[in-house]
Structure 1
Amino acid sequence: YFGSLVYAVEQRLSEAGYVLILGDSHDEPTSERRVTDSLLDRQVDGMILAPAAGSEESTIPEIMRSGTPLVLIDRMLDIPCDQVGPENEQSAYELTAHLLDAGHERIAIVRGIEGISSTTERFAGYARALADRGIDVDPRLILEGRSNVEVAETEVRRLLTGSDRPSALVSMNNSMTIGSLKAVRGLGLSIPDDLAFVCYDDFEWSDLFEPRLTAAAQDVQTIGRTAADLLIGRIEGRDDAPRSISVPTTFTHRNSCGCAAATR
């Protein structure tokens, strides 16, 4: 996901005559601050930041104090700066509701890094879908995947080898989807025969292997190019109120959920 996002940002910046300098925080606040301080020292024209957990307490105030134009991408915060990201809560709601419509009630979730808005919003959509059907969230079905392949694989394997495994699973990003699928395959289980599966994020190759994944696909091109446009505007003097843009996802219905494939 982030590789495609960076590519979309770079394309738009290059069209406008700018060069992209890339830094990776590894979603660690200390690393994030080190990277952004280095970029500020180099007096970059502006920054696009996918904020780590706690970024609003340290990194972002320092960038804003410097006067450097800033755009947040992928993760939204309640601060006065431009930001753009995918729609999260309703998308997760629709994925979960789809499984509920198919008759599943014990639906597990693999969620991402604690403390970032996308994790919070996607979990809220999952919980709201259950609540709308009168189903309480079962803490035993909440897996902390930490947006990591290996962690997700370990957590899903642990759940599926327990005495009361769920009938369905929703994964909340691509890395955790890969980990989940590795766990299912490693246990000799089949999707959707043994476990219905849906995921937030899609893969370009999702139609090329089995199971074909029912997914909420992000419009990565629009997110990346919009972030670049917002930053270019600030660099070139736009001084209107900060904009917060949520880009809709697309529900893609395939066969991993266990029902007849269609598109809606």
Structure 2
Amino acid sequence: MIANVLSIAGSDPSGGAGIQADIKAISANGAYAMAAITALTAQNTQGVSDIHLVPPDFVQAQIKAVFEDIRVDAVKIGMIANADIAAAVAEVLRDCTAPIVLDPVMIAKGGAPLLQPDAVSVLRAQLLPLARLLTPNLPEAAHLLGASIAADRTAMQEQGRALIAKGPAAVLMKGGHLEAPESPDCLVTRDGVTWFEGQRTKTRNTHGTGCTLSAALAAQLAQGLDLRDAVTAAKAYVASALAHADDLTVGTGHGPTHHFAKFKGLHP
């Protein structure tokens, strides 16, 4: 049976991040992708130029329509934009029994804010407790905690534990912002800490890596993998997508990863 995964996020017309990246990543990881859109963005590989928010009641209507008809095996939450949308998403998912992966999207690759300041408190109070897994990068983790950005592994562990105290069942602290040749990620649960090592890939085509990883994680959890195995599989998928990102010629800025690199050379 193929698992069904619902992504709740914003749209990226250039296809590298947001809903478009989620659909590609979920599909490439063997699950069926569905989408509820929270915002329309005007963006490309150079950055975000405009954002149009979807009314909160219509965001809810999209999510309800899916749940009323379709078995949902996992949910990924990305861009929620403002406090009203965050509260609407939290309300409609309050009784959800499927694992929820929450990627606290706050700032676009080019620096544009994707989460209004008033939404942070709602995210902390209402969405974090629903999450099976929270997947912040280091600046996002620091912003959620009101702390300085973690600069080493010890600080990553400490901030992961501090985030656990705010409600999520587990936190994957992504180490891509560390100033080091490696890019380690730290999975923090109430039972302990697991490190996942990773080498940096030399490419400027990193647009949407956070969206891609969280969507891949949701797809793996939907198929029954435990947290550690899901992280291992999702990280391997993203590493391959980054390794082949330069095969694409998409835009002149930070291009996307190659979501379907794993299928290169395969024929029907």
TM-score range, shorter chain: 0.3 to 0.5
* Length-normalised TM-score, structure 1: 0.36
More strand by share: 2
Larger Rg: 1
